[in-house]
């Protein structure tokens, strides 16, 4: 190959790199390992963690849930044709990913009661950030009212990004677990999460009426499992619905890769962030799919684009599709009901423990918060020794407490054992 170019060494190809910039001595990284040795290294990392399932029975949630993942997800979504493709820039040879995304978009819209969904964003937090950007652009108002019932880490990301965009974020406090909205103001967006971070069911319709009256857009952060049981946010007035898609198809994995769900009313489609797949025809009149309304996007619109997103989480969207397809219409509702049953059973048993109190009085669905006689951090630490991931410690903002989630995986025996251990560690 070198001879064909009239060269004698590969080094000559790097002549453009000034000598002073050359890395003498190479990279300070150990020599390459054989495949088996890489495996050994990863065995060691894995052994130093305490995963759920193998080591701990999981009662933690907070946006990352321990659901069963059916075998079809890994066998289908992780087929190498989906795994090793990229953004469908050549639609003629990317109909597989494009059609899967079209079906995914359809399911997200059905869950949330919206007209349009994009082909995914990074995670719940990034979807929320994009929703706020859309609302501010659509209303021309930079004030964003954010309920304290919205996931605190999503709010932190929103605050990080607001430094760049100049949005003015107004925290709206909770009263006994539910958002207590101000009556007057000039927000561009009103953001509510349902069920909220404490697991409580919010009055989304009232938030929608408030937003409409004040001329703001309503952004709802929704959980896709709960959505199967709840009146859809779209029908309650949501302009944009965002969510964390992890419950369908993504393992816990220390928090990523997950899946940012983003859906909205059709009137906002030209401000939609990220990719959108649409149906069309090929030259012979056959049904075909293609990414569309591309002029919104960064590679064409550059500094005037609706968003900077390019790489997204498509593979996780395919996994979401397969998981939902496996559940089907009846299975989706059954899954949501089973989570709610386990949550109720666990909540009632835990509240019967001496000194444990509900943190809020409002109705809950798949997750709930309690005050504990000893600090929540201590409860989590002690419960790990008993073989449980007890929940998520709420921290100062919520006046200390423990957030407990129960999925369809938890049996009555596990829940009883959890409550028994809880009784012991808070004594």
Q: Are 205 and 236 in contact (CB under 8 A)?
A: yes
Chain positions 78 to 97 lying near another protein, rule: CB under 8 A, are 78-97
For 148, 190, 257, 265, 403, the CA distances from 194, given in Å and listed in that order, are: 12, 13, 23, 18, 15
Number of residues in contact with another protein under rule CB under 8 A: 199
By beta-carbon proximity to another protein, the closer residue of 140 and 163 is: 163
Smallest separation (angstroms) from another protein to the CB of 113? 9
Chain positions 389 to 418 lying near another protein, rule: CB under 8 A, are 389, 392, 408-413, 415
Among 144, 340, 350, 402, binds another protein (CB under 8 A): 340
- The two tokens of residue 30 are 């150990």
* Window of 21-29, 184-192, 214-222, 367-375 that interacts with another protein by CB under 8 A: 21-29
By beta-carbon proximity to another protein, the closer residue of 170 and 327 is: 327
* Window of 137-145, 151-159, 170-178, 184-192 that interacts with another protein by CB under 8 A: 151-159
CA distance 129 to 362: 27
Smallest separation (angstroms) from another protein to the CB of 184? 26
Smallest separation (angstroms) from another protein to the CB of 348? 10
For 26, 98, 110, the CA distances from 289, given in Å and listed in that order, are: 47, 6, 20
- The two tokens of residue 81 are 């044709």
Cβ neighbours of residue 334 closer than 8 Å, sequence gap 6 or more? 327
By beta-carbon proximity to another protein, the closer residue of 229 and 374 is: 229
By beta-carbon proximity to another protein, the closer residue of 80 and 184 is: 80
The pattern of x and - marking residues 51 through 70 that bind another protein according to CB under 8 A reads xxxx-x-x-x-xxx-x-x-x
The pattern of x and - marking residues 267 through 286 that bind another protein according to CB under 8 A reads --x-----xxxxxxxxxx-x
By beta-carbon proximity to another protein, the closer residue of 227 and 353 is: 227
Smallest separation (angstroms) from another protein to the CB of 386? 13
Among 132, 142, 144, 151, binds another protein (CB under 8 A): 151
The pattern of x and - marking residues 168 through 207 that bind another protein according to CB under 8 A reads ---------------------------------x------
Chain positions 295 to 334 lying near another protein, rule: CB under 8 A, are 297-305, 307-316, 318, 321-322, 324-334
Chain positions 107 to 136 lying near another protein, rule: CB under 8 A, are 107, 109-111, 115-117, 119-120, 122-126, 133
In degrees rounded to 5, what are phi and psi of residue 300? -105, -50
| DSSP for residue 414 | H
122: burial class by Cβ within 10 Å (0-12, 13-18, 19+)? buried
Supply the angle between the helices 412-425 and 314-351 in degrees, to the nearest 10.
Answer: 60
Give the chain's radius of gyration (CA, Å). 24
CA distance 266 to 294: 16
Among 8, 28, 183, 354, binds another protein (CB under 8 A): 28
Nearest to 57 by CA among 385, 366, 414: 414
* 363 counts as binding another protein under rule CB under 8 A: yes
Chain positions 233 to 272 lying near another protein, rule: CB under 8 A, are 244, 251-258, 269
CA distance 215 to 218: 10
Q: Are 370 and 359 in contact (CB under 8 A)?
A: yes
201: burial class by Cβ within 10 Å (0-12, 13-18, 19+)? middle
* Window of 174-182, 207-215, 352-360, 374-382 that interacts with another protein by CB under 8 A: 374-382
CA distance 220 to 180: 16
By beta-carbon proximity to another protein, the closer residue of 293 and 374 is: 293
């Amino acid at each position: 190959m070198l001879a064909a170019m009239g060269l004698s060494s590969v080094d000559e190809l790097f002549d453009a790199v000034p000598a002073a910039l050359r890395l003498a001595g190479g990279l300070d990284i150990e020599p390459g390992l054989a495949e088996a040795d890489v495996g050994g290294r990863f065995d060691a990392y894995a052994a130093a963690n305490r995963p759920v399932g193998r080591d701990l029975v999981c009662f933690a949630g907070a946006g990352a849930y321990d659901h069963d993942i059916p075998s079809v997800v890994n066998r289908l979504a992780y087929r190498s044709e989906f795994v090793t493709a990229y953004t469908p820039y050549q639609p003629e040879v990317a109909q597989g990913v494009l059609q899967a995304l079209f079906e995914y978009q359809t399911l997200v819209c059905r869950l949330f009661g919206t007209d349009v969904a994009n082909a995914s964003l990074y995670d719940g937090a990034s979807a929320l950030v994009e929703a706020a950007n859309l609302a501010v652009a659509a209303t021309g108002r930079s004030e964003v009212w954010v309920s304290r019932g919205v996931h605190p880490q999503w709010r932190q990301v929103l605050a990080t990004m607001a430094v760049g965009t100049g949005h003015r974020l107004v925290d709206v406090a909770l009263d006994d677990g539910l958002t207590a909205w101000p009556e007057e103001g000039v927000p561009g967006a009103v953001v509510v999460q349902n069920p909220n971070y404490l697991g409580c069911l919010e009055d989304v319709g009232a938030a929608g009426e408030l937003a409409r009256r004040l001329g703001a857009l309503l952004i709802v952060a929704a959980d896709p499992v709960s959505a199967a049981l709840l009146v859809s946010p779209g029908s309650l007035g949501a302009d944009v619905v965002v969510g964390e898609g992890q419950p369908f198809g993504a393992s816990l994995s220390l928090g990523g890769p997950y899946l940012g769900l983003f859906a909205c009313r059709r009137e906002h489609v030209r401000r939609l962030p990220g990719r959108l797949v649409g149906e069309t025809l090929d030259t012979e009149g056959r049904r075909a799919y293609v990414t569309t309304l591309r002029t919104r996007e960064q590679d064409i619109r550059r500094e005037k684009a609706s968003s900077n997103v390019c790489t997204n989480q498509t593979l996780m969207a395919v996994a979401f599709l397969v998981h939902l397809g496996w559940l089907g219409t009846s299975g989706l509702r059954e899954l949501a009901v089973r989570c709610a049953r386990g949550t109720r059973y666990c909540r009632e048993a835990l509240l019967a423990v001496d000194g444990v109190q509900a943190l809020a009085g409002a109705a809950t669905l798949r997750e709930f918060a309690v005050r504990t006689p000893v600090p929540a951090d201590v409860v989590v630490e002690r419960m790990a020794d008993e073989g449980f991931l007890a929940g998520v410690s709420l921290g100062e903002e919520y006046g200390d407490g423990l957030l407990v989630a129960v999925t369809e995986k938890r049996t009555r025996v596990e829940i009883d054992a959890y409550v028994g251990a809880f009784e012991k560690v808070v004594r």
